[in-house]
Structure 1
Amino acid sequence: MAKSAKSAKSDRQKVIDDIRKKQKGADQRRGFMIVGVFVVLAVVIVGAAAYRPIADSIALRSYADMTLAEIGGPASSCVEEETKSAEGSGEHVPDTQQVTYDDAPPAFGPHWNNETAPVPMDRKFFTDGDRPELEQLVHNSEHGFTIVWYDQTVADDSSAVNELEAVAKKFPGSSDYRYKFLAVPWTSEDGGDFPEGQHIAMTHWSIGGVGETDTTQQVGVWQYCSEFSGEALVDFMEKYPYLDSPEPNALSPQDL
């Protein structure tokens, strides 16, 4: 028996309603999936951003109970010290004047002498993004600082950077002059490369021994290392203390 026109129309409407209902459900599921994907991506992005600081913080805490000499590689990671005459190199140049240094990195030489130099003692570790100018750092050398310079190979190694930051924390505050220490990057824009296979350089501006007054005895001292060695740094700073420098008792203006 043939369906009436009204009945056929009702059946067709039911089919259309079912199709629309299914389509609406499918649209909702796609919407939930899209939202879910964005939520997962957001969690991943936020997690990745938070992971590095947390991981770095955990890594730094792992060094808290270690002595300076226990951090890094053995002293044998470093080659023999090199020295070069620094006589007559303490020239002060105007602020912002750029100095071309012959050595990579410099241990002595002309430097700035204004209120922005040298670098205050309250901070000991710097990265490429916030490192002071070379002319400031050389002024720190004149004041007895030992500087540990690290190259791009070290800068690209988060574990090695954490290690140096942990080392810097072993020299807290700005009142104990024995803690005249800085860890800073050396970049390709600064000058030449370190010797082949060496990625760390320790420098000091020596007057030739504590109490030496003959300015002809002044030398720059370098010790290069394939990796950082706390053991070597301890030996270096004991051999070349802050008092063995042209202006050991000087403070930066910010510390006065």
Structure 2
Amino acid sequence: MAEERSGYGPRIAAAATALGAVLLVVAATPFLRAYADPASRRPAAAIGVDADRAGCDPELTDRISGAGLHVGPGTAEPYVTRVRYDLVPPSSGPHFVVPAPTVRRFYVTRDRPPIETLVHNLEHGYTVLWYVEPLAPDQIEALRALARTFGDDRYGGRFVVAPWDLDYGAFPAGRPLALSHWGAQAGYRQFCATVSGAAVQRFVLAHPPRDAPEPTGM
């Protein structure tokens, strides 16, 4: 019996070491995937197609409204659960009290905040890249890469990619992507046919986070 027990220690230690290695691999997997993803390490302009092949319409300039106008829970109009925006997608307008968390850059339908919440992010200087589902897997991966790239401090860190809700209106035919930004003097929108980091970069640089009604809001 003593000889049998004497083997327990080494075996337990070996099992613990193996378990620790497995847990380490599990914890490191997201970081390894991010490193292995070439799109996440490419310059923004190298993600997707060139700007001249993105099928982007001319940029639209909109009149703005709704600065500081909060509706919904926690306001004098708690019964408001939805805003009927004049523009698709909105580049300004009434919005919910609390913006979307800054830690998220990419959303899918199941976890997307309300449109009214993301409009509050627009008021704080964000650019939102909206997309209409379904999109091809390579387009989704390119959007994820853009969310990481333009969510970085190099570009001001105020960039979100989110699926559009068609109940709020349809995008033009053949244009499943739209950029929107709420500037201090005007709103801006641009529709595109396919993902182009170069086209997004041009829009983001033209409309930086500081050009907003509340650029210091979180």
For normalisation by structure 2, the TM-score amounts to 0.75
Take 2:174 and 2:207, find their aligned partners in 1: how far apart are those partners?
25
Match of 1:102 among 67, 86, 93: 86
Q: Is 1:228 equivalent to 2:195 in the alignment?
A: yes
Take 1:60 and 1:135, find their aligned partners in 2: how far apart are those partners?
35
**Residues 129 and 106 (structure 1), Cα distance of their counterparts in 2 relative to 1, 3 Å cut:** same
Conservation of the 8 A alpha-carbon contact between 2:147 and 2:160? yes
Q: Is 1:197 equivalent to 2:164 in the alignment?
A: no
Alignment of 1:53-202 (within 5 A): 57=33, 61-76=37-52, 77=54, 78-95=56-73, 97-113=81-97, 117-154=98-135, 157-172=136-151, 178-189=156-167, 191-202=168-179
For normalisation by structure 1, the TM-score amounts to 0.65
Q: Which residue of 2 aligns with 1:39?
A: none
Conservation of the 8 A alpha-carbon contact between 1:152 and 1:187? no
Conservation of the 8 A alpha-carbon contact between 1:204 and 1:222? yes
Counterpart secondary structure, 2:42: coil
Counterpart secondary structure, 2:189: strand
**What percentage of aligned pairs have identical amino acids?**
36
Q: Which residue of 1 aligns with 2:13?
A: none
Counterpart secondary structure, 1:223: strand
Counterpart secondary structure, 1:129: helix
Structure 1, residues 196-253: CA drift from partner, whole Å, max 9, x if none?
Answer: 211110000011xxxxxxxxxx2211011001111011111111000000000111xx
Structure 1, residues 18-63: CA drift from partner, whole Å, max 9, x if none?
Answer: xxxxxxxxxxxxxxxxxxxxxxxxxxxxxxxxxxx99xx5897121
Counterpart secondary structure, 1:170: helix
Counterpart secondary structure, 1:141: helix
Q: Write the letter of the residue equivalent to 1:61.
A: D
Conservation of the 8 A alpha-carbon contact between 1:87 and 1:219? no
Larger radius of gyration: 1
**Residues 58 and 128 (structure 1), Cα distance of their counterparts in 2 relative to 1, 3 Å cut:** same
How much is the aligned-residue C-alpha RMSD, in angstroms?
2.3
Q: Which residue of 2 aligns with 1:46?
A: none
Counterpart secondary structure, 2:110: coil
Take 2:189 and 2:96, find their aligned partners in 1: how far apart are those partners?
22
Take 1:112 and 1:192, find their aligned partners in 2: how far apart are those partners?
19
Take 2:36 and 2:194, find their aligned partners in 1: how far apart are those partners?
18
Per-residue deviation, 1:92 = 1.1
Counterpart secondary structure, 2:39: coil
Take 1:144 and 1:62, find their aligned partners in 2: how far apart are those partners?
29
Take 1:88 and 1:109, find their aligned partners in 2: how far apart are those partners?
4
Take 1:172 and 1:109, find their aligned partners in 2: how far apart are those partners?
23
List runs of 5+ in structure 2 lacking aligned partners: 1-28, 74-79
Per-residue deviation, 1:171 = 3.9
Match of 2:205 among 238, 242, 255: 238
